[in-house]
Amino acid sequence: MHLRPSDFHSYLRPSKCDLRVYLREKGVPEGAPGPYEEVLKRLGRRHEEEYRSTISELVDLSKVSWAERLARTQAEIKRHAIPLYQPAFEVNLRMNGSTHRVTGVPDFVLFDDEAVVVQDCKIARRVNEDDHPEILRTMELYGWLVEQTTGRPPGRLEVLNGRRELIPVDYDKGQQAKTCLQEIVSIRSLSEPPFHPVGWSSCGDCGFNDFCWQAATGKHDAASVIGVDKGLARALHDAGIDTYEQLLDAFDERTLAALQRPWGHGTQKVGNKSGSILRNARALVEGREIVMQVPVVPDRRRYVMFDLEGLPPQLDETDRVYLWGMGVYEDGKSDFRPAVSDFGPDGDEKGWDAFLEAAAKIFATQGDIPFVHWASYEKTKVQGYIDRYGDRDSIGARVLANLIDLLPVTQRSVVLPLPSYSLKVIEGHVGFQRTQTEYGGDWAMAAYIEAVETDDVGRRVELMGQILTYNKEDLDAMWAVMGWLRTRVPTA
C-alpha cells in the first residue's frame, strides 16, 4: 500500500473512524466538500503562503517530478544550506507481513547548523492530542522519514499554528505514527466493513455522513437512538443488539441502567439515562411523538427570538460573533432587528455595542420580554462579551436574566422519532420550510468570510443579505417550533 500523512486525517478527522478508512479504500463515493471546507482550504493555503514569504532563499521543489524531488531533497539536505519548500521523502516500511511505500511532503525543511528542522503550516490554533492528533502523527512521521533518509533524527519538528506560533512536537522515533499506520493497513485489508456506530455530531462533517445515516436509518440502527453514544452502541453490538427494536426487547429501564459500557479507559453503567434512551427508541419504533409533559414556556404576548452567528477559534482570534440576530414576535408577526459587526479592526466591539443598543430599545418598549434561543451558544457568548467589552447600562445582564433555552424545554417535554434535537431537524418535523436552498451555520461562516475578503461592494451587500435572510429564518424556525410545542398534550 501507499501510505502518506493524509491517511492520518482520513482516519482521525473529524473524529476517529475506521469505517471511513475502509469506505475510501473501497472507493465508495462521498459528498463533495462544502463551502466551509473550501474556505478552510483557502485560508490554509494563504497561511502557508504568508509564512513562506518570510523565508529567504527558498528552494521550491513543488513543481518538479516526484523522482527529481526525491533526488534534489537528498542532495540539498546533504548541503545543509538553503531552506526547502515541499521537499519529498519516501521510505519502504515492513508491516503486517508486507512492505508498504510511505511518503511525506512537509511544507518546509530548514537547517540549524547540522540539524534538520521540519516545519508544517496548519490553521488550527490548538495542536494537541485531544484536538488534532492527526497533526501530531503527521509531524512524527515526517521526523521518522527524515531519520530514515539521512541517518540522523530531526533537530526539531514544528507546527506554525493559526496564531502564527511555532509549536514544537516531540519526536518519538515515529512510534505513534507507525502504530497508527499499522491500524490503517489492517483496516484497509478487511474483507468486510468494520462496525462503527453513527453519531449525529461526530459524523456531521464527514463526507460519508449521508451514506452512513441512510444505512443506519434503513436498518433501524440502535446507534441512531438519541442518548446512545458510541461507547454504548459498541456495548450493545457486542451483546448482539444492533436495532432499536432489539434494544426495546432486550432491556427495561432497570437492566439498561445496570449495563456496563466503555467509558474512557474503563467502563461505566448507563445509569439514569436508561429511561430517556428507551423512550427515544420507542418513539422511533412507533414512529410517533411521545409527549411527557406540557411544555413550560412563559405565557407572554410577545417574545424575542434570539440567534447568533459567529466564527470559531480556528477562523478568528477572538472567537467572535458577527451577527446578533433578534426579532420581536407576536401572533405570527415579526420585527427583525439584527446587529451586525463592522468589517473594520474594531468591528467586533462595534457589533457588541450595536447589539446592546438594539436590546435596550426592545426593553424600553417591551419591558422584561423573554429572549428565546436554542442551546447554550447564546448564553455563553453574551456572558463572554460582557467579560470582553463590559456591559453598558447592564443591558447584557438583563438579556441573560430573560433568556429561555427552548432546547431543554423540548427535551423535557417531547420524545421525538428523530435522530437529533437539532433545530434544523426539528423544524422539518414541524413543517417549517425555508426559502434558501443553501443554509446552515457552516454555509453562513463561509459566506461571511467571503464578504470580509471581497473588494466588490455589491458582492458584499449580496452576501450579507443572504446571511441576514438565513438568520431571520432561524428565528422564524424557532418561533414555529415554540408554537408547535405549546400545542402538545401529554400522551405517555
| pLDDT 10s digits, 46-102 | 899 999 999 988 999 999 999 999 999 999 999 887 899 999 999 999 988 899 999
The pLDDT value given to residue 297: 87
Beta-bridge mates of residue 305: 327, 372
Residue 318: which pLDDT band, with cuts at 50, 70 and 90?
Answer: low
What's the number of CA atoms in the CB half-sphere (13 Å) around residue 392?
12
User: Bridge-partner residues for 103, per DSSP?
Assistant: 90
What is the structure's pLDDT at 315?
59
Whether the predicted pLDDT of 491 surpasses 80: no
**Element containing residue 168 per DSSP (H, E):** strand 166-168
DSSP symbol at 289: -
Average pLDDT, the chain: 93
pLDDT at 156 exceeding the cut of 80: yes
φ, ψ of residue 90 in degrees (nearest 5): -145, 130
Place 299 in a pLDDT band, splitting at 50, 70 and 90. confident
Helices then strands, counting H and E runs in the chain, come out as 18, 19
The 10s digit of each residue's pLDDT in 337-390 is 999 998 888 999 999 999 999 999 999 999 999 999 999 999 999 999 999 999
pLDDT above 80 for 248:
yes
pLDDT digits (tens, 9 = 90+) for 389-402: 999 999 999 999 99
CB of 350 closer than 8 Å to CB of 384: no
Phi and psi at 439, nearest 5°, equal: -165, 170
Residue 239's closest CA among 220, 225, 222? 222
Convert 369-398 to b/e letters by CB count within 10 Å (16 or more is b): bbbbbbeebbbebbeebbeebebeeebbeb
What pTM was computed for the model? Answer: 0.87
Cα–Cα distance for residue pair 236/241, rounded to 1 Å: 5
Please state, in angstroms and rounded to a whole number, the distance separating the CA atoms of residues 31 and 206.
Answer: 8
Position 492 pLDDT exceeds 70: no
Shortest CA distance to 295 belongs to which of 213, 408, 393?
Answer: 408
**Is the bond preceding residue 193 a cis peptide, omega within 30 degrees?**
no
CA nearest neighbour of 444 among 454, 432, 436, 456: 436
